[in-house]
Amino acid sequence: MRDSHQLSERVARAKMKGMFFLLGGLLKLVAGKNRKIRKLIGEKDCIVQIRLRDRSWGQWFSFQKGKVKSRSGFHKAPDGDLVFDNARDAVKLMTPFPGRETRLQFIHMAKNFLTEAAGNDEALLHFSKITAEVLDQQYTRVGLPMPDGSTRYVNNTNAGPVFVYVKDGKILRITHIEFDETDAAPWTIKARGKRFTPPRKTTLTSYTSGIKSTIYSKDRLLYPMQRVDFDPHGERNPQNRGISGYKRISWEAAATIVADEIKRVKKEHGPGAIMNGSGSHHTWGNLGYWLSARRRFFNMIGCTYIDHNPDSWEGWFWGASHHWGNSIRNGAPDTYSTVEDLLKNAELIVFWSSDPEATSGVYGAQEGTVRRMWAKELGIPCVHIDPFYNHTAALMGGKWLAPRPATGNALALAIAYVWITEDLYDRWFVENRTTGFEAWRDYVLGKDDGIPKTPEWQEGESAVPAREVRALARQWGTCRTYLAAGGIQGFGSACRCATGVEWARSMVYLMAMQGIGKPGVNMGCLQQGTPVDTRFFFPGYAEGGLSGDLAGTGLMINMYQRMPQLMTVNTVKQSVPRLQIPQAILEGRTTGYPTDASTIRGQFFPIHYPSPGHSKVKLYWKYGGSHFGTMCQTNRYADMYRSEELEMVVNQSIWMEGEAQFADILLPACTNFERWDIGETANSGGYIQHSYTQWNHRVLTLQHKCIDPLGESKSDYAIFAMIAAKLGLGSYFTENCTELDWCKRLFDATDLPQVTSWREFLKKGYYVVPSPEENRRDPVSWNWYYEGRAKDVPEISPLPADYADTFRHGLGTQSGKLEFVSSSLSAYDPDDPERPVMSKYIPAWEGHHCDLYKKYPLFLITPHSRYSFHTMQDGKDGWLNDIEDHRVRVDGWYYWIVRLNPMDAKARGIVHGDLVEAYNDRGSVILYAYLTERIPAGTVHSYESSAVYAPIGEPGRSPDRGGCVNILTPSRPMIKKSHSTASNSCLIDVRKWEEA
């Protein structure tokens, strides 16, 4: 064995010498021919040495003014020194696109100091960038040449995979994907004598169709910028954030300032002084997403993370989960194979606060539209419950009920009253699969409080005529009905209002009363639950990509055994609730509750800021998106940014929008079309397990770098790597890998190598996962529970410890049953008046019963827009601005729209097309008045998520004409013992805008 080992080392040593000799020649050859490589080499002058630990061999490389020199032997004063324990390791790790086993070996070597990087980390990172760029050019040939001279690449977005046509380094057009004859055939559903097969192509949302205009937007941040009156060594002038302008600086200067400030605040203030946060979403890709490279970097430097509220699930997480578990889905239900079950068995669909045609579910593009058209073809009737006659109602037709905002629970109680008094519910299911029904039944009948929850009673709350509620209850109670509670089950604007906890709980109760899980009785709106293959493994973004983070991502569950990487650990034990960031900075302390989806009891442990032994936040690094358009009472954020408590603000963004204008240093990031990545359409991983069942086809994509980054923008990965190098963490952060290397590592961690090669996947750019045969499709959700069998759908919820009896039998509640009276709430705080142990009608604290209603008599609802994914596609001079259902141009400015009933407009002297001011005590927004009967009198409608924050005077103290209607929404949580937004409980008034 010893002789064999020595022989292998001798062979490896010879190969190593030849490899590095050839590398030197290749670098010089390419530098002489390739201007791009020459420019890259010229970015930094340095000398890097590669050697064995015993100094029996070495070679150094010199990079000076764009020229390369390579010599064997040892340099007397290299800037960087890369040391290997033996030649075999050096050969393996310097081979382009090494396999999984080699990467596992590298992790072993790094953790046990068998390889070390010494000296200047920036020099070593520069060397790895150069070699990677040269080797990538030798080994990567991607894209399909087209007859018009362009090249077709593949990329991905928040709403679908795309073909990207590029010519002369510029994007010509971006389209959906048309599958070819080599791609897997689609599934077919046979229902009621018909056959339904989705088209052999993908779809796009309106905002993805307009994405090219935002890539080339005049609002792109193309160069690092420094606020003109910010001096890190002198006057910082925080009061001028959002007012003063910017000057262009070099990347070297920007990275140095940021790195020096990181060191300073840690030394002067201690752990926790750096705070980092992001929007809820980012550009697509498992490597570039906010849970990947960002998490890896900030774990390494140590930071106070901003703790996200469950903003899409609010009422389900804080309420519904305590009655049926489903903590892994934040209290929402699973929907496996519900498309087939609905088409075969359902007799009615009730869309309640559900507009999938506008919201695409979440990442579903227009995939569900064809499925809803199938339901229409089958003649399945629909009912729509929403204060706004939404896009889905307009498409599907049917009955429309428009309740007063935040009163949906009253309507639900009245439906239950009719079912109880007319015996229209599933007694067998209630008696055998639930607990606590008798107590709630007595409440509905008024036996405990003297108020029967009749349709007439609810009319005084919801304003929906009693006769219509009684008719709906009878129709629902005599039909096999699908309940669509949200555009994707568990989302929906009603769960984000002051009574969202009670509304979501009442949805669970209604489904229990109808026997969820029997054929045709379930939750869904044909937006998710397609019969695609859920057993083929490909991770979603929540799995953490390259983060190395076992604590804050799903890496621990699905990826730690599949994708070797160095682990990263954040040693700061402090966080700030996202909705209380301004309070934390301005008042110096705050409290919230965590979004812990591991168990229904995870939300009971409060977060306190500041934490013991930790510093208050002094440096805020904001990453992507804008809170002005997406959080609540957002003038608070303007006040926060201008506080002296924040000594430094960094903003890493693609566009100059929203909060970017409040930064001291701006770091320009590129879009996902200008970098490498890998990802699957609609696959969010642990956030919504198997969320790709929104799509008719599972499409896995190698996201090609279609064009070079515009201006001097860089990928998020490159930005973090550059600053990490200045902190001596560059090699640790990158593991000497490019983004394309990481794509290959993630590819190797999936099931893709079993069906295609890396070279083929790299070239074609996508793979369509074949759907299973009909007899191998997932069972229908909840059918196992209805029939009393072991859970047979492919999800790991509840976790084993949360089963009260036998593993895989029952729900994640203490009883294992669906509970009308919650055991977890009974144990936690049985006397909480805001969240009682069973659902009751609690009037909204900002609604028609409160004193504020006399001053501000209009209810503002702010659902998601179909023209932007959060703030990503809004503004930016994009062509979607010209769609008059989104923004309307008046005197050269694109105004956000508010929709009013003509009666409310007439009472205020407003006509269609007026500029109006929507206002309350929290602020005001200038909007374009759109008069429509699609909204009832007393309620106004304006979509949230404007990317433009444009106060006409002092930030936070003057009307905004950008469209940030969340300036008006309340910052109060739904219930005190939560970290939640109640943005759809908002009282305002509207007046004609008279510019001073």
CA distance 513 to 428: 9
Catalytic (active site) residue 281: yes
**3-state SS record for 872-905:** CCCCCCCHHHHCCCCEEEECCEEEEEEEECHHHH
**3-state SS record for 40-89:** HHCCCCEEEEEEECCCCCEEEEEEECCEEEEEECCCCCCCEEEEECCHHH
Structure tokens at 812: 């994640």
Local structure of residue 9 (DSSP, 8 states):
H
- CA 771, 776, 782, 783 dihedral sign is positive
Segments in 755-822 forming alpha helices (H): 758-764, 783-787
| Crossing angle of the two packed helices 408-421 and 437-444, in degrees rounded to 10 | 100
Structure tokens at 565: 């990487």
CA distance 321 to 332: 7
Catalytic (active site) residue 311: yes
- Count CB atoms within 10 A of the CB of residue 821: 21
Concatenate the DSSP letters of all residues of 221-255 into one string. Answer: --S-EEETT--TTS---GGGTTTS-EEE--HHHHH
**What is the edge-to-edge ordering of all strands in the sheet holding 698-703?**
677-680, 698-703, 766-769
**In Å, how far are 72, 620, 698, 708, 823 from 609, measured between CA atoms?**
56, 15, 42, 42, 30
User: Please, what's the b/e burial string for 926-937 (b: 16 or more CB within 10 A of its CB; e: otherwise)?
Assistant: bbbbbbeebbbb
Residues 6+ apart with CB under 8 A from 598: 327, 328, 799
Please, are residues 63 and 46 in contact by the beta-carbon 8 Å criterion?
yes
> For residue 810, with 0-12 CB atoms within 10 Å meaning exposed, 13-18 middle and 19 or more buried, which class applies?
buried
CA distance 104 to 275: 32
Question: Is the backbone of residue 658 left (phi > 0), alpha (psi -120 to 50) or beta?
Answer: left
* Residue in 576, 585, 571 with CA at minimum distance from that of residue 636: 585
The torsion angles phi and psi of 231, rounded to 5 degrees, stand at -125, 110
* Residue in 299, 277, 278, 295 with CA at minimum distance from that of residue 286: 295
Catalytic residue among 307, 311, 664, 914: 311
Residues 6+ apart with CB under 8 A from 84: 50, 51, 52, 53, 90, 93, 114, 115
- Count CB atoms within 10 A of the CB of residue 435: 20
Catalytic (active site) residue 541: yes
Rg (CA), the chain: 29
- Count CB atoms within 10 A of the CB of residue 789: 12
CA distance 681 to 698: 7
Q: Strand runs (DSSP E) across 453-554, as ranges?
A: 481-485, 522-523
CA distance 395 to 526: 14
> For residue 165, with 0-12 CB atoms within 10 Å meaning exposed, 13-18 middle and 19 or more buried, which class applies?
buried
Structure tokens at 429: 């299911």
Catalytic residue among 281, 308, 697, 870: 281
Catalytic residue among 363, 425, 443, 541: 541
β-pairing verdict for 619-623 and 274-278: parallel
Strand, helix or coil for residue 353: coil
Residues annotated catalytic, as ranges: 281, 311, 541
